[in-house]
């Protein structure tokens, strides 16, 4: 491996750092896209089983090639551009939706050292990048030159902004007790504690002392990604969403963005509250496999919620965000602050 | 040319172009989009100066929150371009004078301090100390009173904005969801047992 690296370094010369960084980006994005494709398949299977159906089983063994067939279908479909729409912004919007979902992965750590850019303010970076996802939605609604899409875009954008506040407060408590904005350090701080010393690491993770914040972050994450039961963006049966005018690959990009965001939120929940790559019990080693397991579990929750809960009404959604979550966050912020100043501070 | 310098010139070119488009674009939404691009490039320039907190802050606050609400408003405005162009020439002299005064003031303030600054004069980040941490420490120790004062001013602004737009709630028919969930079938429906009558 080292000799191969040295050989490549010699061949590329001064542009080697650029090439090497690009290679690392591809190594993150390509598996992510594959995971997105198979998440759609897994979703249809899981919901099928929960509703006593079979789910997709025609293409390939056990239907495993279904997402590839879907991708090819969407690629070959015509992209209809509505007349009098703003063509540039209409075509730019899907990209603006997908790009933040991918850019945030630059600072996501997979273990102590396996991270593309280990910057000090990585949590802030994730918040900043995630807050830009709303532009794809708001612009697609506006550029479509359609009243339905416009109102749908406004609705989704208002929903995302509302829940971003609750998410931000949940993150503030995490960085208070971690005393750091660095995601690697936030995970490493969860290694310490009374329970971790006795081999019960999973009780030392942030989810237990920050239980209300954990629940709020998870639910806000579902609302933020426009997933059921908060999927007012595309409630197929009753309401028209911001991507009403999109077809073919342009629509598929919104779809990819939604699923990439789901994986991103699940990874963040795992890192911030569930100890990232840390092993839950003392006698098993830490490793990247634990991170993937936790992410898969949170993703299963996403699908489970979709199969279980009826859709929220819009006013209920706003009430939950502004009148329930934000007050709880403010109270718990003070509770954590007082806790940290008291003699019972467990995060020293 | 160094890599950093090339990135700086690229970001600055984008920043200048976007700023020009903000004031020349005919469509208000396009102008707002270019303002977003300008903020983003400014964040990039700050990141080059190793001010990562400011760089991420401008993107998080201005791009992520302020401009979204701005777009909300701008998209719903009903702007008539022809009406806006009326009286352009009659307002031009006054506008030009105000603009020139502002340019002169800015130039006077900035040129004294910044025109002769070299890249090497920029304060270098101390290794091992996070920029964000250093800033936070300064704000909450040395400058805690000005900082708290600024937050109180913002709070007053929030309350004032709410007070100006506040309308007393109309009597609505909205229900408390908790009460709705707690209701039992027997509170609403009474099932009567009626023995069937015999016909003769």
Range of lowest pLDDT (A93-107, A203-217, A227-241, A306-320):
A227-241
- Cβ–Cβ contact B132 with A under 8 A: yes
pLDDT digits (tens, 9 = 90+) for A249-275: 999 999 899 999 999 999 999 999 998
CB count, 10 Å around CB of B42? 22
Q: What ipTM was estimated for this complex?
A: 0.86
- State the pLDDT at residue B181: 85
Over residues B10-27, the mean pLDDT reads: 93
- State the pLDDT at residue B118: 66
Between CA B29 and CA B34 the distance in angstroms is 9
> Considering the entire predicted model, what is its pTM?
0.87
| Three-state secondary structure call for residue B151 | helix
Over residues A272-280, the mean pLDDT reads: 90
- Which residues of A fall within a CB distance of 8 Å from B60? 124, 127-128, 131
The pLDDT mean for chain A works out to 89
Over residues A186-201, the mean pLDDT reads: 84
CB A347 within 8 A of CB A189: yes
Over residues A25-33, the mean pLDDT reads: 93
The answer to whether B63 contacts A154, with C-beta atoms less than 8 Å apart, is no
Q: For CA atoms B27, A132, A121, A19, give the dihedral sign.
A: negative
- State the pLDDT at residue A347: 79
Burial of A273 (0-12, 13-18, 19+ CB in 10 A): buried
- State the pLDDT at residue A339: 92
CB A133 within 8 A of CB A101: yes
- State the pLDDT at residue B128: 64
Q: For CA atoms A230, A294, A254, B70, give the dihedral sign.
A: positive
Q: DSSP secondary-structure letter at B128?
A: T
- Which residues of B fall within a CB distance of 8 Å from A182? 130
SS (H, E, C) chain A: CHHHHHHHHHHHHHHHHHHHHHHHHHHHHHHHHHHHHHHHHHHHHHHHHHCCCCCCCCCCHHHCCHHHHHHHHHHHCCCCCCCCCCHHHHHHHHHHHHHHHHHHHHHCCCCCCCCCCCCCCHHHHHHHHHCCCHHHHHHHHHHCCCHHHHHHHHHHHHHHHHHHHHHHHHHHHHHHHHCCCCHHHHHHHCCCCHHHHCCCHHHCCCCCCCHHHHHHHHHHHHHHCCCCCCCHHHCCCCCCCCCCCCCHHHHHHHHHHHHHHHHHHHHHHHHHHCCCCCCCCCCCCCCHHHHHHHHHHHHHHHHHHHHHCCCCCHHHHHHHHHHHHHHHHHHHHHHHHHHHHCCCCCCC
- State the pLDDT at residue A286: 87
The answer to whether A121 contacts B64, with C-beta atoms less than 8 Å apart, is no
Report, in angstroms and rounded to the nearest whole number, the Rg of chain A calculated over CA atoms: 21
Find all residues with CB under 8 Å of B67, minimum gap 6, and list them.
B32, B35, B36, B39
| Three-state secondary structure call for residue B117 | coil
- State the pLDDT at residue A312: 87
Instruction: Indicate if the pLDDT at residue B1 is higher than 70.
Output: no
Chain B's closest residue to A93, CA to CA, is B33
- pLDDT tier at A14, thresholds 50, 70, 90: confident
Q: Which residue has the higher pLDDT, A198 or A335?
A: A335
- State the pLDDT at residue A253: 93
- State the pLDDT at residue B125: 61
CB pairs below 8 Å between A and B: how many? 66
The answer to whether A131 contacts B65, with C-beta atoms less than 8 Å apart, is yes
Range of lowest pLDDT (A21-25, A144-148, B85-89, B145-149):
B85-89
pLDDT digits (tens, 9 = 90+) for A112-171: 888 888 888 889 999 999 889 899 999 999 999 888 899 888 888 889 888 999 999 999
The answer to whether A120 contacts B130, with C-beta atoms less than 8 Å apart, is yes
- pLDDT tier at B121, thresholds 50, 70, 90: low
User: Residue B147 is inside which H or E element, if any?
Assistant: helix B144-165
Structure tokens at A124: 């802030």
Structure tokens at B51: 């001010």
- State the pLDDT at residue A238: 78
- pLDDT tier at A240, thresholds 50, 70, 90: confident
């Amino acid at each position: 491996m080292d000799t191969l690296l040295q050989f490549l370094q010699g061949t590329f010369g001064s542009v080697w750092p650029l090439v090497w960084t690009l290679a690392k980006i591809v190594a993150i994005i390509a598996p992510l896209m594959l995971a997105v494709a198979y998440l759609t398949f897994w979703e249809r299977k899981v919901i099928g089983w929960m509703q006593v159906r079979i789910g997709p089983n025609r293409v390939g063994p056990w239907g495993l090639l279904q997402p590839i067939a879907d991708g090819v279908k969407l690629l070959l479909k015509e992209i209809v551009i509505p007349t009098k729409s703003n063509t540039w912004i209409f075509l730019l919007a899907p990209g603006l939706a997908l790009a933040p979902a991918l850019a945030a992965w630059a600072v996501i750590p997979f273990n102590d050292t396996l991270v593309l850019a280990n910057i000090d303010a990585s949590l802030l970076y994730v918040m900043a990048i995630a807050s830009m996802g709303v532009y794809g939605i708001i612009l697609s609604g506006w550029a479509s030159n359609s009243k339905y899409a416009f109102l749908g875009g406004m609705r989704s954008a208002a929903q995302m902004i509302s829940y971003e506040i609750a998410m931000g407060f949940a993150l503030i408590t995490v960085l208070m007790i971690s005393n750091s904005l660095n995601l690697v350090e936030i995970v490493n701080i969860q290694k310490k504690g009374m329970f971790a010393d006795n081999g019960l690491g999973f009780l030392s993770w942030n989810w237990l002392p920050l239980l209300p914040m954990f629940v709020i972050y998870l639910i806000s994450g579902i609302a933020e990604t426009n997933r059921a039961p908060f999927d007012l963006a595309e409630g197929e049966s009753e309401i028209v969403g911001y991507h009403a005018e999109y077809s073919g690959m342009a629509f598929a990009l919104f779809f990819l963005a939604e699923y990439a965001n789901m994986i991103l939120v699940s990874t963040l929940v795992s890192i911030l509250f569930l100890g990232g790559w840390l092993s839950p019990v003392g006698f098993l080693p830490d490793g990247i496999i634990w991170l993937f397991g936790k992410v898969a579990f949170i993703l299963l929750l996403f699908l489970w919620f979709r199969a279980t809960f009826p859709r929220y009404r819009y006013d209920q959604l706003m009430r939950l965000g502004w009148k329930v979550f934000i007050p709880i966050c403010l109270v718990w912020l003070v509770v954590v602050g007082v806790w940290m100043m008291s003699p019972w501070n467990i995060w020293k | 040319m160094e890599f950093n310098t090339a990135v700086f010139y690229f970001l600055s070119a984008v920043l200048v172009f976007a700023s020009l488009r903000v004031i020349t674009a005919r469509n208000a939404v396009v102008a707002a989009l270019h303002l977003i691009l300008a903020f983003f490039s400014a964040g990039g320039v700050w990141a080059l100066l190793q001010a990562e907190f400011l760089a991420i802050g401008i993107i998080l606050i201005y791009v992520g929150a302020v401009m979204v609400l701005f777009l909300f408003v701008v998209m719903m405005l009903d702007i008539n371009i022809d009406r806006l162009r009326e009286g352009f020439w009659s307002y031009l002299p006054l506008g030009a004078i105000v603009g020139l005064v502002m340019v002169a003031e800015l130039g006077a303030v900035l040129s004294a301090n910044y025109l002769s600054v070299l890249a090497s004069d920029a304060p270098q980040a101390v290794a091992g100390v996070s920029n964000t941490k250093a800033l936070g420490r300064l704000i909450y120790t040395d400058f805690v009173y000005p900082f708290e004062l600024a937050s109180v001013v913002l709070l007053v602004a929030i309350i004032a904005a709410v007070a100006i737009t506040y309308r007393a709630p109309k009597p609505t028919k909205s229900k408390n969801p908790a009460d709705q969930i707690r209701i039992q079938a027997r509170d609403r429906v009474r099932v009567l047992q009626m023995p069937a009558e015999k016909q003769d």
